[in-house]
Structure 1
Amino acid sequence: MDTQKTRRAPFAALRRGTAMPVAAQILIAGTLFSSLGDTLASLGLVLHAADHDIRFGVTEVMLAQLVPTVVAAPLIGSVVDRFSARVVCLWALLLQALSLGAATAVGGFHARVALIALAALAGVASVAAGFKMLPVAAGESHTGRANSLLTAGMSVAGLLGPPLAGFLNSQWGTGVLLAADAVSFLVLAGCTMLAVPSTVDVAIGRRPTTRLADGYRALRDAPVVGALMPALAAAMLATSIESVAGVFYLRGVADGNDTVFGLFLATWALGSIPGALLAGRAGWENRHTLLIIGGVLAISLGLILAGLLPVVWVIFPLFLLAGFGNGACNVGLRNAVHVHVPAEVHGSAWACFQALSRTCIGLGYLLGTPNSLVSSRGQVIVSGVIPLVAMAWAALVILRRGERTLTEPSA
């Protein structure tokens, strides 16, 4: 379905007099608020498990958020593409709100985790639908900038979430954090209704029939995205390995000073903000390949040197560099999928990418776990080498196929 002409008229009034359409601003603001709520709920359960010394409780929370996405993403993505993305998103957000509301009411830890898993399942649908609707709210010319602002905002939410969760949990307990997340989904539902009125449902590309493999096939066959997907997967694996092994290595570098360790983590997030914002500037937002390759190389270089140079004041700029690359890479990927993957399979493609990313994250957590074979410092170094090798392999594949991946349109 050609949706280019039908997207403009319903939003003409909202766009007048502003660089970024108001509809897109509303959708982004709601998404960021919901992301902050997710951080509160997740950390709330982690803190509850730690406070009550629940064996494997933290692992249980992590698995509850990872496994449903990996298992059900292809099916849920096909649902997003088969029906109205707006309708699917609103129902999914309602289910997430109800799940978190029920988790607030029940007292048992395992019951709460089960409800979090249900919310994670619904979250696959709402995130995929949100990805599909963003170009509708922002318009073709502003989608790249919208992805930039959304990615930068996610980094800000990642900075604010942990300390806010710790404070609220110490004052009022985990139930308040779960309730806040439930409210955040209702807020996002309201923002979605404002940003994407029901009158534009027909403008969102959809397919009457879909197959479970459509999302993976779309990612594999898309220019830029397919060729660089192994390197992207390696980068996600690398950052997940570091997030576990780095706890032990970086605390050692900081001589056990938890404040310095926390600043290390904040530095990465801070670096990702300008990286994401730069990737959304005119002249950069269409350079998908350069953003992804440059971002992955910055992550790789930052991790390798951070492992080789265990000096506090050296690691700070290295993490700024890696975070900058992380932000730029994320925006480059989102823009590449929006441009190179057909709109009618955006939901399936993004849901399948969620499954891929969660798989890499889970595997990274396992590989980053301390063991007797490789030290935590060695694990950090290896985590940086992995995306470097994957990028070299991707380059060889591109050259062998004769793909003109580096030649992209300027508009």
Structure 2
Amino acid sequence: MDTQKTRRAPFAALRRGTAMPVAAQVLIAGTLFSRVGDTLASLGLVLHAADRDIRFGVTEVMLAELIPTVLAAPLIGSVVDRFSARAVCLWALLAQSLSLGAATVAGGFHVRVVLIALSALAGVASVAAGFKMLPAVAGERHTGRANSLLTAGLSVAGLIGPPLAGFLNSQWGTGVLLAVDAVSFLVLAGCTMLAVPRSVDVAIGRRPATRLADGYRALRDAPVVGTLMPALAASILAISIENVAGVFYLRDVVDGNDTVFGLFLATWALGSVPGALLAGRVRWADRHTLLILGGITGMGLGLLLTGLIPVAAVIFPLFLIAGFGNGACNVGLRNAVHSRVPAEVHGSAWACFQALSRSCIGLGFLLGTPNSLVSSQGQVIISGVIPLVAIAWAGLVTVRRGEHTVTETSA
């Protein structure tokens, strides 16, 4: 495995005595700004579909963001690993900006959705390349902390994006939201050029010959990651079920009060911020199994008890706990993949994880859709049971394989 020990020198001038290299801070800041832009664009189209009462419009937007990732991730991930991650990232960001720029001036809703799908396709490459570059700019010592700050920041972006999208859409319309997203990709491209100088391209692991299945094989064969991947998939599925069923169940709990319902969602995101930050502390950075299993346990218990106890005052702390587990789990996963998967297939592995994640999200949306067989409360309860059963199985497998949960060391 590429230990990346030779990647620190090019960024020495950027450190200036800070605990986290300035190059990593710049890359993280650009990523978070771009994520806010993505939220604006997605919600802008959703609000536009709702305002115009476009049949299946909301579903169309969601599918446009899901399907390209699922279908093209293995191929795009292999491209990231075969060429310079920096170059792939910059070209992908340019493609995303052009797609959103075209969507800004496009008149038809369905044309805009197609352009959003193209942006999502390029986004697979930019996200995978960004994942691959982060250890190069943060250095081996600070990669865990960088993942912690990035994960916490993404939660904050998730808090800022929706209300900002609603305000901007009401004031200036969907076109402005799409334009902001287009600009955000250019900002991230500028941050990438600053944080990752052209001179370090050769230091970022490349693999001249790649196969489409390399990313999935890397995830399957990696210690810790392969064992816990089914549990991770189960947790993503569970959250997605609750995301849909919870709209109906939680609004019933608060008698249709949308303000309180919105606070429920914000509480989950708020809980994930300290979860991500604490998971990035030095004493926890290498405890990948414990962070992932503990995080999934928190989410599962939070969802299960939320379904069993339909009381708003109880649901708020439960969502804080579940969000805390979500943040810790996400950091543990990113650190595990960076440490346990060979650097030369980081792009393929992370792209394939995106495909797996989006597949679970799509299935979860379908299972969480209201039906005559299971009530929305029952669906929320089921969403809590699924990850708990999965981690029980993962725990047994982990013990049998002798993988440590407390004193892991990075490979």
* Range of TM-score over shorter length: over 0.9
* Equivalent position of 1:50 in the other structure: 50
Displacement of 1:402:
4.3
TM-score (norm 2): 0.98
Could you say which residue in structure 1 is the equivalent of 2:356?
A: 356
Kept in 1, the 8 Å contact 2:302–2:321? The answer is yes
Looking at structure 2, the residues matched to 406 and 360 of structure 1 have their Cα atoms a distance apart, in angstroms, of 29
- Inter-CA distance 410–128: structure 2 relative to 1 (3 Å threshold): closer
Q: CA RMSD in A?
A: 1.2
What's the counterpart of residue 86 of structure 2?
Answer: 86
How is 1:204-243 mapped onto 2 (pairs within 5 angstroms)? 204-243=204-243
Query: Which residue number corresponds to residue 103 of structure 2?
Result: 103
User: Structure 2 CA distance, aligned partners of 1:335 and 1:324?
Assistant: 17
Unaligned runs of 5+ in 1: none
Higher mean displacement: 314-323 or 280-289: 280-289
Correspondence for 2:368: 368
CA distance in 1, matches of 2:227, 2:410: 20
Q: Deviations over 1:341-396 (max 9, x none)?
A: 00000000000000000000000000000000100000000000001111111222
* Pairs within 5 Å for 1:276-291: 276-291=276-291
Counterpart amino acid of residue 226 in structure 2: G
Give the secondary-structure state (helix, strand or coil) at the position aligned to 2:19: coil
- What SS does the aligned partner of 1:285 have? coil
Q: Aligned equivalents of 1:4 and 1:99: distance in 2? A: 34
Q: In the alignment, is the contact (CA less than 8 A) between 1:34 and 1:187 conserved in 2? A: yes
Q: 1:210 to 1:71 in 2, by over 3 A?
A: same
Does structure 1 retain, via aligned residues, the 8 Å contact 2:219–2:226?
yes
Give, in whole Å, the separation in 1 of the partners of 2:150 and 2:2.
26
Which amino acid is 1:119 matched to?
A: S
Give 3-state SS (helix, strand or coil) of 1:293's partner.
helix
Structure 2 matches for 1:139-288, cutoff 5 A?
139-288=139-288
Q: State the aligned residue count.
A: 411
Counterpart of 1:17 in structure 2 is: 17
Summarize deviations over 1:77-107 as a string: whole Å, max 9, x none. 0000000000000000000000000000111
Deviations 1:290-333 (A, max 9, x none): 10000000000000000000001000000000000000000000
How far has the Cα of 1:406 moved from its partner?
5.3
Query: Is the CA contact 2:40–2:162 (under 8 Å) kept in the aligned structure 1?
Result: yes
Which AA in structure 2 matches 1:276? A
Asked whether the 8 Å contact 2:2–2:342 carries over to 1, the reply is: no
Partner of 1:136: 136
2: distance between equivalents of 1:404 and 1:282? 17
Letter in 2 for 1:31: T
Residue 159 to residue 2, structure 1, CA distance change in 2 (3 Å): closer
Alignment match, 1:318 = 318
Does the CA contact (< 8 Å) of 2:100 and 2:182 recur in 1?
Answer: yes
Q: Tell me the CA shift for residue 3 of structure 1.
A: 6.2
Return the TM-score normalized by structure 1: 0.98
* CA distances 1:174-211 after superposition (whole Å, capped 9, x unpaired): 00000000000000000000000000000000100000
1:379 aligns with 2:382: no
TM-aligned CA deviation for residue 17 of structure 1:
1.1
Distance of aligned partners of 1:98 and 1:285 in 2 relative to their CA distance in 1, 3 Å threshold: same
CA distance in 1, matches of 2:410, 2:220: 23
Judge conservation of contact 1:96–1:182 (CA < 8 Å) in 2: yes
2-structure distance, mates of 1:106, 1:54: 17
The answer (yes or no) to whether the contact 2:85–2:204 under 8 Å persists in 1 is yes
Return 5+ residue gaps in structure 2 as ranges.
Answer: none
Percent identical pairs in the alignment equals 85
CA contact (8 A) 2:4 2:135 kept: no
Cα distance in structure 2, aligned partners of 1:162 and 1:408: 38
Following the alignment from structure 2 to structure 1, what is the Cα–Cα distance between the partners of residues 299 and 2? Answer: 38
